[in-house]
Chains A and B, each alone.
Chain A
Amino acid sequence: MLIPCPVCGLRDVGEFTYWGDAGVKRPSHREKEAGPWVPYVYERKNLRGKHEEIWQHEHGCRQFLIATRNTETHEVLDAKLAGPFGGDE
Chain B
Amino acid sequence: MAGFRTDTFGTRIDRDKPLRFTFDGKPVEAFSGDTIASALLASGRSIVARSFKYHRPRGVFAVGSEEPNALVTAGTGGETEPNVQATTRLVSDGLVVSGQNAYPSVDRDLGAINQILAPFFGAGFYYKTFMGPMKRSWMWYEPSIRAAAGMGRASLSPDPARYERANAFADLLVVGGGPAGLAAALTAGRVGARVLIADEGHVLGGAIDLDDARINGTAALDWAKEAADELDAMPNVRVLRQTAVWGYYDANVLAAFEDCSAGGLTRARHWRLQARQVVLATGSYERPIVFAGNDRPGVMLVSAALAYARRFGVMVGRQAVLFCNNDQAWLNAAALVEEGLQIAAIVDPREDLPAELTQPLEQAGARLLTGHVVLAAQGKKQVEKAVIMAADGSGETVTIECDALLVSGGTNPVINLASQAGGAPTWNADVAAFVPGTQREAWVPAGAMIGAARLGEVLKQGAVAGQASCEFLGLRCPLPSFKVDSRGGNLRASVEDGGLKPLFEVKAPAGRRFGKFDKAFVDLQHDVTAEDIRLAAREGFESPEHVKRYTTLGMANDQGKTSNVTGLAILAEAREVPMSEAGTTRFRPPFVPVPLGTLAGRARGAQMRPVRRSPLHATHAAAGAPMAASGLWMEPRAYPRPGEAAEKAALREAAHVREAVGIADISPTGKIDVAGPDAAAFLDRVYTNLFSNLTTGQTRYGVMLREDGLIFADGTALRLSKDHFLLITQAAKAERVVTHLEYLLAIAWPDLRVTVTSVTEQYAGIAVSGPKSRTLVSRIVDGRDMDNRAFPYRDVHRAAVSGLPVVVARLSSSGEDGYEIYIGADHGVFLWKRLLETGKDLGVLPYGIEATDILRIEKGYPGAAEFDGRQSLEDFGMEKILSKKKNCVGRPLALREALTSQDRLQLVGLQALEGAAVQAGAHLVKGESAEKPGESEGHITSATYSPAMKSHIALAFLRGGRERHEEVLYAADPLRGTHNRVRVVDPQFYDPDGSRSNG
Q: Which A residues contact B (CB, under 8 angstroms)? A: 1-2, 17, 19, 26, 29-34, 36-38, 40-42, 54, 56, 58, 62-64, 73-75, 82-84, 86
Does B892 contact A33, Cβ atoms closer than 8 Å?
yes
Contact A30/B440 with A19-B743, A41-B707, A82-B746 known, Cβ cut-off 8 Å:
no
B748 within 8 A of A: yes
Does A34 contact B746, Cβ atoms closer than 8 Å?
no
Chain A min CB distance to B271 (Å): 15
Chain A min CB distance to B441 (Å): 9
Measured between alpha carbons, how far is A36 from B892 in the docked complex, in Å?
9
User: In the complex, what residue of chain B is closest to A82 when comparing beta carbons?
Assistant: B746
Measured between alpha carbons, how far is A63 from B742 in the docked complex, in Å?
9
Does A54 contact B892, Cβ atoms closer than 8 Å?
no
Measured between alpha carbons, how far is A54 from B887 in the docked complex, in Å?
25
Measured between alpha carbons, how far is A2 from B251 in the docked complex, in Å?
7
Most buried by A among B250, B253, B685, B751: B250
Chain B min CB distance to A24 (Å): 10
Binary interface profile of B, 660-702, with partner A (CB < 8 Å = 1, else 0)? 0000000000000000000000000100000000000000000
Cross-chain pairs A/B with CB under 8 angstroms, 10 sampled: A1-B253, A19-B747, A26-B747, A41-B893, A64-B747, A75-B250, A83-B745, A83-B747, A84-B745, A84-B750
Complex interface residues of chain B between 239 and 260 (CB less than 8 A to chain A): 250-251, 253
User: In the complex, what residue of chain A is closest to B251 when comparing beta carbons?
Assistant: A2
Does B750 contact A83, Cβ atoms closer than 8 Å?
yes
B896 within 8 A of A: yes
Measured between alpha carbons, how far is A32 from B893 in the docked complex, in Å?
9
B739 within 8 A of A: yes
User: In the complex, what residue of chain B is closest to A73 when comparing beta carbons?
Assistant: B440
User: In the complex, what residue of chain A is closest to B756 when comparing beta carbons?
Assistant: A62
Closest 7 CB pairs of A and B: A83-B746, A64-B746, A74-B250, A37-B892, A2-B251, A34-B892, A1-B250
Does B251 contact A74, Cβ atoms closer than 8 Å?
yes
B457 within 8 A of A: no
Does B440 contact A56, Cβ atoms closer than 8 Å?
no
The 8 Å CB contact of A62, one of B742, B895, B896, is: B742
Complex interface residues of chain B between 209 and 236 (CB less than 8 A to chain A): none
* Interfacial chain B residues near A38, Cβ < 8 Å: 893
Chain B min CB distance to A11 (Å): 11
Contact A29/B896 with A37-B707, A56-B742, A64-B742 known, Cβ cut-off 8 Å:
no
Most buried by B among A31, A64, A73: A64
B708 within 8 A of A: yes
B749 within 8 A of A: yes
Chain B min CB distance to A49 (Å): 14
B891 within 8 A of A: yes
* Interfacial chain B residues near A75, Cβ < 8 Å: 250-251
* Interfacial chain A residues near B251, Cβ < 8 Å: 1-2, 74-75
Most buried by A among B685, B748, B892: B892
Chain A min CB distance to B896 (Å): 6
Does B747 contact A54, Cβ atoms closer than 8 Å?
yes
Chain B min CB distance to A39 (Å): 12
Chain A min CB distance to B182 (Å): 29
Measured between alpha carbons, how far is A30 from B250 in the docked complex, in Å?
42
> How extensive is the interface on chain B, given as a class?
20 to 34
Q: Which B residues contact A (CB, under 8 angstroms)? A: 250-251, 253, 440, 685, 707-708, 739, 742-743, 745-751, 887, 891-893, 895-896
Measured between alpha carbons, how far is A30 from B684 in the docked complex, in Å?
12
Q: A1-B253, A83-B747 are in contact. List 16 more A-B contacts (CB 8 A).
A: A19-B743, A19-B747, A29-B749, A31-B887, A31-B892, A34-B893, A36-B892, A37-B892, A56-B746, A62-B742, A63-B746, A64-B742, A64-B743, A64-B746, A74-B251, A84-B751
Measured between alpha carbons, how far is A31 from B748 in the docked complex, in Å?
13
Measured between alpha carbons, how far is A36 from B751 in the docked complex, in Å?
22
Chain A min CB distance to B498 (Å): 42
Contact A82/B887 with A1-B251, A2-B251, A40-B707 known, Cβ cut-off 8 Å:
no
User: In the complex, what residue of chain A is closest to B753 when comparing beta carbons?
Assistant: A84
The 8 Å CB contact of A32, one of B742, B749, B751, B891, is: B891
Does B250 contact A73, Cβ atoms closer than 8 Å?
yes
Does B685 contact A37, Cβ atoms closer than 8 Å?
no
* Interfacial chain B residues near A17, Cβ < 8 Å: 739
Does A32 contact B887, Cβ atoms closer than 8 Å?
yes
User: In the complex, what residue of chain B is closest to A10 when comparing beta carbons?
Assistant: B251
Chain A min CB distance to B278 (Å): 15
User: In the complex, what residue of chain A is closest to B742 when comparing beta carbons?
Assistant: A62
Does B750 contact A82, Cβ atoms closer than 8 Å?
yes
* Interfacial chain A residues near B750, Cβ < 8 Å: 82-84, 86
User: In the complex, what residue of chain B is closest to A28 when comparing beta carbons?
Assistant: B887
Does B440 contact A34, Cβ atoms closer than 8 Å?
no
Does A34 contact B895, Cβ atoms closer than 8 Å?
yes
Measured between alpha carbons, how far is A32 from B896 in the docked complex, in Å?
12
Contact A29/B892 with A1-B251, A62-B742 known, Cβ cut-off 8 Å:
no
Most buried by B among A40, A41, A42: A41
Measured between alpha carbons, how far is A31 from B739 in the docked complex, in Å?
23
Measured between alpha carbons, how far is A17 from B749 in the docked complex, in Å?
20
* Interfacial chain B residues near A37, Cβ < 8 Å: 707, 892-893
* Interfacial chain B residues near A74, Cβ < 8 Å: 250-251
Does B892 contact A32, Cβ atoms closer than 8 Å?
yes
Measured between alpha carbons, how far is A26 from B306 in the docked complex, in Å?
69
* Interfacial chain A residues near B893, Cβ < 8 Å: 34, 37-38, 41
Does A58 contact B739, Cβ atoms closer than 8 Å?
yes
Measured between alpha carbons, how far is A86 from B891 in the docked complex, in Å?
28
Chain A min CB distance to B746 (Å): 3
Contact A29/B748 with A17-B739, A56-B743, A58-B739 known, Cβ cut-off 8 Å:
yes
Measured between alpha carbons, how far is A26 from B440 in the docked complex, in Å?
36
Measured between alpha carbons, how far is A62 from B742 in the docked complex, in Å?
8
Chain B min CB distance to A44 (Å): 13
* Interfacial chain A residues near B250, Cβ < 8 Å: 1, 73-75
Chain A min CB distance to B542 (Å): 26
Chain B min CB distance to A53 (Å): 12
Measured between alpha carbons, how far is A62 from B739 in the docked complex, in Å?
9
User: In the complex, what residue of chain B is closest to A70 when comparing beta carbons?
Assistant: B250
* Interfacial chain B residues near A30, Cβ < 8 Å: 887
Measured between alpha carbons, how far is A29 from B750 in the docked complex, in Å?
12
* Interfacial chain B residues near A64, Cβ < 8 Å: 742-743, 746-747
* Interfacial chain A residues near B742, Cβ < 8 Å: 56, 62, 64
Chain B min CB distance to A13 (Å): 8
Does A84 contact B892, Cβ atoms closer than 8 Å?
no
Measured between alpha carbons, how far is A36 from B743 in the docked complex, in Å?
20
User: In the complex, what residue of chain A is closest to B746 when comparing beta carbons?
Assistant: A83
Measured between alpha carbons, how far is A74 from B887 in the docked complex, in Å?
38
Measured between alpha carbons, how far is A29 from B743 in the docked complex, in Å?
14
* Interfacial chain A residues near B748, Cβ < 8 Å: 26, 29
* Interfacial chain B residues near A86, Cβ < 8 Å: 746, 750
* Interfacial chain A residues near B747, Cβ < 8 Å: 19, 26, 54, 64, 82-83
User: In the complex, what residue of chain B is closest to A26 when comparing beta carbons?
Assistant: B748
User: In the complex, what residue of chain A is closest to B250 when comparing beta carbons?
Assistant: A74
User: In the complex, what residue of chain B is closest to A34 when comparing beta carbons?
Assistant: B892
